[in-house]
Amino acid sequence: MTEGARAAHAFRRRGPFSTLSPMIAFPPGAAPSSHAQALAVVGGGPAGLMAAETARAAGLEVDLYDAKGSVGRKFLIAGKGGLNLTHSEPMPAFARRYREREDAVADWLRGFGAEDLRAWARGLGVETFVGSSGRVFPADLKAAPLLRGWVRRLRDQGVRFHVQHRWLGWSDDGALRFATPEGEREVRAGASVLALGGGSWPELGSDGAWTGALRARGIELAPLAPANCGFDIGWSAHFAERHAGMPLKPVIAHWRDAGGAEHALQGECVITAGGIEGSLVYALSAELREAIARDGVALLHLDIAPGRERARLREALARPRGRRSASEHLRRQTGLDGVKAALLYETLGRGGLDDPALVAAAVKRLPLRLRGARPIAEAISSAGGVRLEALDEELMLRAMPGVFCAGEMLDWEAPTGGYLLTACFASGHRAGQAAARWLRQSDAPAA
């Protein structure tokens, strides 16, 4: 399971966010600027914070609004088990992780990529290292020190923070509307960057509630969907009660894409009460989700004994077992026990273990029928959102000049491993730069 996945499980076991808060104090914010070159950033995740920093460095007055009592909450959860900041994979392989949005995200990354992100962290006094998997982590593996330093620097640079401001949309005259503890508030700014997150962490503010306000303005949206998520299979009660939470490693997943081509990937996953999740499954979640939408079910085969040949397994299983039980014979001849042996029982039934050829085939290609993705609120991230076609190359809404969008609320997705965070930072950087250019051009006197 990835560090991000472990963090997600840790959060949901512990409950309220206050137990994980970095204790960043947010006193009542100053009144927002109404200057024509003021920028309002809505959303305090990595994309919003990066947009604010970039725009402020370009000389804009910047006010940042967040619905919660502090910023960067999902960022902190992502780093609870070890912050996977980015990945060392070189381009163009890095960009291919973004699937059909490869070209667009690659363009963002040319402005602010993985090495830029590492240099940025170094500027905050946070050194990074490349792990054995190619993932990049802070030296102390923690998110909270980096976030504290970042917020401190943004304040010192003059960014004004306004927390407990939940965005409601726009008023009839174009002002930003916020719900606050003191009642509704309207804010006018020269431009705005929306970085409102996806729909995968409602308890942290990423609840997708913004979709209604954008749809009402005619903005084209792709439906939000779970990404980097688990899937339901429908285990028997006996299997689920005994094996939910058990890791399944190492295994090799085999599947066919929409064009019928076969693929294989080795990794780890975890049995859940209803199905399967974990880093290997997350890496395939987009294709599995699309297969279910297309065919009603996704068929995934697992090789639960990598390195063992099917013919040799069959030969070993065909040896006389004497008085040994089927499970003991399986363990002695294949080394499979625990949850892997239980999976064979679950799939073949007890009688199926008496057929060496059938068992050997199942060990190398154990069929799992995935019925559906887990709900979006349980996912690590979400797909869908503002279609990139509704934006220009500078991430400004074509239908709403002066309104830019960034981060996970855009219609792209990526696997875990640092790719999600990197694209969020990169899009925030792009939007912050673009907003600064747009405001300067808007404020320039006519020729």
219 close to 275: Cβ distance less than 8 angstroms? no
Each residue of 200-219: pLDDT tens digit? Answer: 988 888 899 999 999 999 99
β-strands 247-256, 231-232 pairing: unpaired
Q: How many residues does the chain have?
A: 447
Residue 406 to residue 415: CA distance in whole angstroms: 18
Residue range 93-112: mean pLDDT, rounded? 97
Please report which confidence band the pLDDT of residue 33 belongs to, taking 50, 70 and 90 as the band edges: low
Average pLDDT for the chain? 91
Domain with CATH 3.50.50.60 in the chain: 3-227+376-443
pTM of the model: 0.90
- Residue 407's nearest CA partner among 246, 255, 193, 238 is 193
Cβ-proximal residues to 139 (8 Å cutoff; 6+ apart), any chain: 126, 127, 128, 129
Instruction: Return d(Cα 90, Cα 159) in angstroms, integer.
Output: 34
Please answer whether residues 293 and 371 qualify as being in contact, where contact means their C-beta atoms are separated by less than 8 angstroms.
no
H-state helical runs in 59-180: 73-78, 93-96, 102-111, 114-123, 144-157
pLDDT tens-digit profile of 344-392?
Answer: 999 998 778 889 999 999 999 999 999 999 999 999 999 999 999 999 9
More confident residue, 434 or 31: 434
Please give the Cα distance from 227 to 374 (Å, whole number): 9
Confidence class of residue 447 from pLDDT cuts 50, 70 and 90?
A: very low
CATH code linked to domain 3-227+376-443: 3.50.50.60
Q: Partners of 73 in the beta sheet?
A: none
The arithmetic mean of pLDDT across residues 237-266, rounded, is 94
Q: Helices (H), strands (E): how many in the chain?
A: 15, 20
What's the pLDDT at 205?
86
Model pLDDT, residue 25: 53
pLDDT of residue 314: 94
